[in-house]
Amino acid sequence: MTQSGALPANRPGAVRVRVPAKINLRLSVGAPRPDGFHPLDTVYQAISLYDEISIEHADRLRLTLDGVGADILPTDGTNLAVRAAALLADRLGVAPNVAVHLHKRIPLAGGLAGGSADAAAVLVGCDALWGGGHDPAELAVLAADLGSDVPFLVIGGTAHGTGRGELVEPVPAVGPWHWVVAAADGGLSTPRVYRQLDALRATGAAPPPTLPALPDDDAAGPARDLAMPSLVPDRLLAALRSDDPAELAATLANDLQPASIALRPALRRTLDAGLAAGALAAMVSGSGPSCLCLAADAADAARIAAELTERGVCSAAHVAVGPVAGATVLT
């Protein structure tokens, strides 16, 4: 079921939440763990490309949506937003009787964690509606049951992620950093991109993982990941504390990029066009197919976005800044 129109204004018994997209400034991917997941070492940043969500009391749990992907996204229990409401209700011992309405702007299956963002927003919004009293750190722990990116999108800002990405720790960062998000036509399946990376590595077509392999006995689960050494370069941490976008540009990296390009060769044209337009760096966002361009300033970002659109190398070019807050209740 879908619904069109803007979100309603706040009113008694209703909560509105705004939640950002995420990008990965650096994404190191290890070999598959015994449970099938790949260990990650990443630096996340939340950027000002937002979905907005309205939540109010209802006679049952239901989801409606409009905006990007409204005609194809599920509204049943397979949607992370629905699962988030049910999970928090179970934790609080209340009935999950809320009507959730999503207004989507974050591109679908684009490497920007739009589904995870919506789940984070529902956790924050339902906690406010039901008076749960959880702080963001507590909700982030609960969010790990929903997906790897959900905990970060509860917290936002800039953060170091390990494990499957669900273990997050804030990282000091100035800003704003100016980004252009070049959205592609159609999405890419994240599991498919990871499988492609494994295949490329098996044939030597992609560099081997730099994360240490885990032992076969992985019974310790995420706790084992906490002991893994960080691969975040000191120069990246220093760049985030500086105000020099060129310094940050030199540190950006994504292990998944070769796999995404192998599955969608047209992404190379988008990246090349971004660099030709003057971007300080261009890379695939997460598992793709959205591409990121780092600009020197707001004026350069607007110009790069216009050139990408004019060249027809993306379906849309969004200008955004980071870091921004995670899922936030709007007053």
Active site residues: 22, 149
Residue that is written with structure tokens 């919506």 in the block: 118
Q: How many CA atoms, within 13 angstroms, populate the side-chain half-sphere of residue 47?
A: 27
- CB burial readout 290-311, b (16+ within 10 A) else e: bbbbbbbeeebbebbbebbeee
Report how many helices (DSSP H) and strands (DSSP E) the chain contains, helices first.
11, 12
Non-local CB neighbours of 73 within 8 Å, separated by 6+ positions = 65, 79, 104, 108
SS3 162: strand
- What is the C-alpha to C-alpha distance for residues 104 and 100, in angstroms, rounded to an integer? 12
- What is the C-alpha to C-alpha distance for residues 14 and 144, in angstroms, rounded to an integer? 26
